[in-house]
Structure 1
């Protein structure tokens, strides 16, 4: 130890505590966390201020990024050049910032994770919106502090007309804490801020009427709202983000998934590579091809599926195993008065308004001081012009300017500042025109001073200034939301978004489904050739037409005996001429299964209703089964077994009954059997059922009807060659279940075999569709009642060996079709034939 030195003993534990606290606070305050007022971390603030000092404004030429980085490093931010350059690059990336603050020229990276070019190659300048953050900096609006070497000063915060912490978000990792704030839509934030100014007692819930949710620069979909609500109310929450996708069909008939937007902060190239790896590892099945077709016009990732793959299943697997769905954890920690705090939506707006209020006060005071100084000088100049001869005499008689100044002060009572301005005044100011200009300037200044003093004296006017400036910012830079919001099933009632209107559900032979407003179908008279219906693929035709309403719950029964649930509004909408969507993409049914029957119910939660109603099922081999509706009251995504189907058989019809309906079952050879529903005992959901009708080996059931009102309902049968007839229910005598039945139609080569049996009233229309896709709608009341064993009347004229594919009874319509291609007089009545 040298002379004069001494050792001071300290407690190392206390020293480490002190040193670590100093270090952590330095990281928290001076590096990692944004300030609640301007929403910027120190490096971003210094980059913007450095560019402002360089004059790299939006209306001027770009400057080399290296020049900007050097300015910031040398004057304000003594850290690595990469930290400054990376901060500036991020402020220029439109997929990273909702409202970029820097305009870059050159390679500034990509959403694929490509690195930006070196700073010697790129150029940059401020964007117009960044100038709003720097506006009025020279008007003493914010405090300054010495830079790292005390040679210059830098602002402690920017004036920030825009609430940048909310609109652009922030992220940072400090010591013992981190922040991750989501970006929002500028227009929504401005509206919410103005609402807060108008009512400081506004609640977060009320603010959420203006700010719907975060709005990410990459778009995408926010799936579920609870995380958003938690973030707004508590400052912490997890937002689930999904890619925006569409399902299209290739020319070869395969489904393909098109991805047009991905979640925020997801690397597109890495996401595609991950999907490809999962395909190769067989962890995701059903994908045959993936390609990135993105270009300058936008993002487009194409995933083509295998022939039998179900698009919804593949998409859900992609959501589960890849970044096609990701979460964004929100943690709203920012510096408030130099201390880190967790803030909710209202607090974030509150502290921004408080900052702007202080800026407005300081700016107004600065402008008032400047205006008063200038007004003082103008008063002196105008007074000098009033005493011009005497002023000139004093100046000419003085040996030095200082002598003239002192004489003007002493003799004419000018202030020193006024006297100096008079001495510096040019001779041209003595003209009458210049005097008028001075007088006008003085008058305008007095008006400005009065307005500025009024603002300083009235807090209401101060808040109005803030609101006006925010409205101006919204007009300049406000835009529409990029990120959609999709609420999940637990968070809203989807029925509130759909009117309870009648719709037609159509299912084609190859399994394409759609819903169409019933009003799209027109009424024709009997014998018309029909209007063009759905456009289907080659060899496809519409096989089923069902009528229901938007709020109903649809129960779909497949030929393998499975039951699936679906709300009508979840069925894809299409026009009458559109093909629809493959039903495998709407229901999770097996590829070799297809829907054969349906029913619609509303009250699966009503115990009395589900315990006193039944589902009756019928198969092609004449098996019938009755099960209580309660067994179907618990929907499952993957469906349930409704009936055990034996080999060679398949489910054909399903009816909802009240327990005492009359049941009629018809066969292809023209036989029908009638018995009361009470003849069938209700059994469990997985039972096989009992025999309903005895048939030959070549015969099969074509349909089943359940008649509730015997006086109003008639029995309608239709043959494949377009013949049909309406008969009274009493024409069919009641027999026991399992008999051969009676003749329901006189089957000939002319009529063709029976294809349908329906229960109808005169308040119904009959919709017929043939295999070529033509449709006709005619009124049931136009078909007269005939005997049970007659051949019937011709309902539709068929061309080119066409035949009827399906018929359906629909509500009556008054909308008449004027374009009838054939007269309704072409009706052939066939005389009764005794059995």
Structure 2
């Protein structure tokens, strides 16, 4: 019998479905790609969240983990999210939770964390069993009205619960906090922005739907990183705003401090976004060990939670801080670039969006939320008003209602009796009447029901009006956005630095006159000119700058913040700097070492400064000249156009011979008369045409003869030939000075000895300065001790060129005048009121009178000798 049993025959080919493997791979990969794109890597353009962020916040909301309640363990939140909505592992959920609590990662944190959530140095957070969290107030604004059917819900992964498809956020989250993710075949990298700016941009779009992206950028200027920094250049930012793709360069913020020992240190107070501070410190140390960067003695990360970022780079004595900073920008992450790639999901599909499209998506979403919320509130109000209307009907027929209820055997029979009583009560109202408590039947409760009904009818009318008017809905959206800005908005953290080829940064700088001071040891600063009080001649002066004991102010002048300064050094080099780039300080501050602001060698120093309004004005630079003179009497003229292309490391302005140095530089129009004065008290006057223009590399020609090694040129001035209002002001070391008419100096050929300009004695000291003045300026005298005095030049009397002058400032026996300069007359001069100096002035006037009489006698005796010198000047002059 067993032999008759046969196995069941099956055909395996009947269970195999033949498919094209190429088509199957395509289909499977596309399904996988879309799952990654939609369900994991890309944010939704409406609320700006990826699914994991949305699920974490929704789970915390469902747990009642609000900002005004106690913290809950992070592990509890992670378990809730993983068990109900996001079955992808606890580590990914906890990493998301941690990032939303880190204020150096999120521009506006959404989770309020308690415990160790890591730090900017790369230290990891504590385990989830140790940390605690709750919703931040700003996150609650992203969940507002979620219970009012404002968004669609979908089934979770096991179809047991509902989760929101999108959150009804009032915050433009995608622009505010940004997002980054790598999908399949695409990626997104959206940078954070300032909430106040984004809200202003949304409001501007609502007011004008045709607004351009350039107009939106007036409000949304650039990304705003949580760690601050400086956005270096706006071209890439503009491309990102216009097209959704661009590149942003961010630099860390640093400054230079001088330690008590005199050494300088670079202090980094802000690093670029997502830069590890410890890694940055290690990189700097590695570059020093590799000798890629030289001049750094030590680097240390002194950052802490209380004071924030502080990385200190100690420099060697011979290092130039500005050079080291540029090297740090070049070789380390102190300068970092970020790619903008604004890819987000809109209507379930990935799309690269510009600034306006992102704002439009959010505003349209808010419009949808407002409509759905209004419809929900209207429905609920109408339902409640319907019940209250039933209450009022029942109260109007109270006795009959009570009789009907008492006569009914069951609640269902009582409900039917109320519905059939002819009062217009439906089933819902009848059921509500039966559930009415007896205390609501009192007269006072009846009034409350009536008031509630009336207010509901008013609310229903407003809601219906809102649904019927798009303009009212836009006004409501603007009002809610303004509330968000008032509650959570803050100032921009990242500064914006425009490159020179992008725009004139002067447009962002207020134009004002400032006083520029440079000390003998090379410290520079700018100060408001109002800080220098005007005093009468002969006063004691005031402290103009606190310097080191061996230092004193050597250059002092006024310039506009929009102008360019040309710095000429004693070795004949020329450097450029904008006035607004000079560090600001008060009158008593020391200033910054000029070597830190430009690449000036340690063995060189600035000797002359020229203020230029605009180096890009072709007509101006081709019709003006730079006139240079040296200590040994050499003079040289070069067209300004040759100095119109600034270079970071400077250019040669004149070839200086051994033993000589540059002392003065002047800007001329080619039609001036040149005057040069020497320490021994002589001066020469000759036409500028006597000096022919030469290139920057030339040596120059003789301007005045210097008789011996002890004598030297102390200054040069240029007076326009048509200007008859000018007088020549000279000042000696001991504080004597005077004004003399220009005509008293006879025009001669260059290269002569010149004539006496002041009577030099032991009482006056050597000549230290010469200026051309009109009497409308103020004179600022600076002593080697740091004392300065500002007085009106009109108070200085005119005298012959051979006199010793009058006392301009009382100085101590060991002190001497270091420099003089003139300041244009201010509209409101501040008059000294500390002490009365009338008596001092009377005594000084007597001294001046005696000095003037003495000068006349000396002048008559010297005039014949001067005339003899004048007759031989032209014969003695010669070219180099």
| TM-score bracket for this pair, using the shorter chain length | over 0.9
Find out whether 1:393 has 2:408 as its counterpart: no
Question: Alignment partner for residue 361 of structure 1, among 366, 371, 393?
Answer: 371
- Correspondence 1:708 to 2:720: yes
Per-residue CA distance 1:788-815 (angstroms, 9 max, x = gap): 3333333222213211111123334555
Contact 1:512 1:581 in 2 (8 A): yes
Cα displacement (A) at 1:207 = 2.0
Q: Pick from 774, 780, 783: which aligns with 1:761?
A: 774
Question: After superposition, where does 1:266-345 map in structure 2 within 5 Å?
Answer: 266-295=275-304, 296-345=306-355
Matches within 5 A, 1:608-623: 608-623=619-634
Does structure 1 retain, via aligned residues, the 8 Å contact 2:277–2:301? no
Correspondence 1:748 to 2:761: yes
Please give the alpha-carbon distance, in whole angstroms, between the structure 2 residues aligned to 1:568 and 1:809: 18
Determine if contact 2:285/2:299 at 8 Å carries over to the other structure. Answer: yes
Query: How big is the shift at 1:714?
Result: 2.9
Distance 1:452 1:527 in 2: 81
**Which of the residues 363, 366, 383 maps onto 1:373?**
383
Would the aligned equivalents of 2:549 and 2:785 in 1 still touch at CA under 8 Å?
no
| Correspondence 1:27-426 to 2 at 5 A | 27-295=36-304, 296-412=306-422, 414-426=425-437
Give the stretch that moved more between structures: 61-70 or 522-531: 522-531
Residue 261 of structure 1: CA displacement? 2.0
How far off is 1:701 after superposition?
1.8
Q: How far is 1:238 from its partner?
A: 1.5
In structure 1, C-alpha distance between the alignment counterparts of 2:776 and 2:803, rounded to whole Å: 23
2:783 maps to 770
Q: Give the one of 597, 619, 629 matched to 2:608.
A: 597
CA 1:145 to 1:692, structure 2 compared with 1: closer, same or farther past 3 Å? same
Residue 817 (str. 1) matches residue 832 (str. 2): yes
| Aligned mates of 2:199, 2:619 — CA distance in 1 | 52
1:630-641 matched pairs, under 5 angstroms: 630-641=641-652
Tell me how far 1:541 sits from its aligned partner: 0.7
Supply the distance in 1 between the matched residues of 2:133 and 2:762 (Cα, whole angstroms). Answer: 84
**Is contact 2:704-2:750 (8 Å) kept?**
yes
Shift of 1:69: 0.8
Aligned CA distance change for structure 1 residues 250 and 2 (closer, same or farther; 3 Å): farther
Deviations 1:93-147 (A, max 9, x none): 1111122111111111111111111111111111122122112222221111111
Uncovered stretches (5+) of structure 1, i.e. residues with no partner? none
Partner SS for 2:841: coil
Whole-angstrom CA distance in 2 between matches of 1:713 and 1:400: 117
SS of equivalent residue, structure 2 residue 589: coil
Contact 1:405 1:416 in 2 (8 A): yes
User: Judging changes above 3 Å, is the alpha-carbon distance between structure 1 residues 202 and 415 closer, same or farther for their aligned structure 2 residues?
Assistant: same
CA distance in 1, matches of 2:153, 2:489: 31
For 2:588 and 2:61, locate their aligned partners in 1 and report how far apart those are by CA, in whole Å. 60
Q: Distance in 2 between matches of 1:269 and 1:711?
A: 67
Between 32-41 and 440-449, the greater mean CA deviation after superposition: 440-449
- What is the rounded CA distance, in whole Å, between the counterparts of 1:217 and 1:499 in structure 2? 28
1:389: Cα distance to partner?
3.5
Match of 2:5 in 1: none
Contact 1:528 1:824 in 2 (8 A): no
Partner of 1:825, secondary structure, is helix
Kept in 2: contact 1:112–1:269 (CA 8 A): yes
1:355 deviation in Å? 1.5
Do the aligned residues in 2 keep the contact of 1:190 with 1:470 (CA within 8 Å)?
Answer: yes
Equivalent residues of 1:85, 1:119 under 8 A apart: yes
State the 1:411 CA deviation: 4.3
Question: Is the alpha carbon distance of 1:742 and 1:50 closer, same or farther for their aligned partners in structure 2, counting shifts above 3 Å?
Answer: same
Q: Distance in 2 between matches of 1:303 and 1:27?
A: 45
Instruction: Please list every run of 5 or more consecutive structure 2 residues that lacks an aligned counterpart in the other structure.
Output: 1-8, 863-880
Aligned-pair CA distance for 1:698? 2.9
The answer as to whether partners of 2:120 and 2:277 remain within 8 angstroms in 1 is yes
Cα offset for 1:582?
Answer: 1.3
Match of 2:478 among 458, 463, 467: 467
- Measured against aligned partners, the alpha-carbon deviations of 1:491-524 in whole angstroms (never above 9, x if no partner) come to 3323334555443322111011122333333333
When residues 823 and 12 of structure 1 are mapped into structure 2, their CA distance, relative to the original with a 3 A threshold, is same
Aligned to 1:656: 667
